[in-house]
Amino acid sequence: MKQRLLLFALLFAAVVVKAQTVVVLELPDPCPTQVEETLMQNQGLTVAPNPVDDALTLQFDETECPNAIDITISDAKGGVVLKERRTVSSSPSVKLNLSHLPAGLYFLNVRTEKSTFVHKIIKK
């Protein structure tokens, strides 16, 4: 249905332009390429600061508070740039040193005994 509507809108726009009348149609994007930030918000884990300079802090809330976590950071092309397993002590937070990474877009994947979290990270 969306494809038919889009095709009709394109044909309509072509006819209108040929008649030398300009009409701007605002259609919803049929192929969204951006994930809404609200969909990426994770309950149980806070990642800060983002964008990050050198040190990234992972803060687990009381409901999650894992014993051990598996951390994977991938670049925008999907290549793994950091992979490690950490034991979480009495403090429900973990600091990651990202100073060795060049500026860019990264994806943080944190796996606990209960959950898996994915966050988009911007490295300055």
The per-residue pLDDT for 7 is 46
The per-residue pLDDT for 113 is 87
What is the C-alpha end-to-end distance of the chain, expressed in Å? 42
Indicate the SS3 state at residue 51.
coil
The CB density around residue 83, as the number of other CB atoms within 10 Å, is 11
Kindly list the averaged pLDDT for each block of 10 residues, start to end, along the chain of length 124: 50 46 51 41 82 94 83 96 89 91 96 91 95
The per-residue pLDDT for 42 is 56
- 8 A C-beta contact, residue 74 and residue 116: no
Rounded Cα distance, 90 and 93, in Å: 9
Whole-prediction pTM: 0.65
The per-residue pLDDT for 103 is 96
- What is the dihedral sign for C-alpha 36, 38, 44, 48? positive
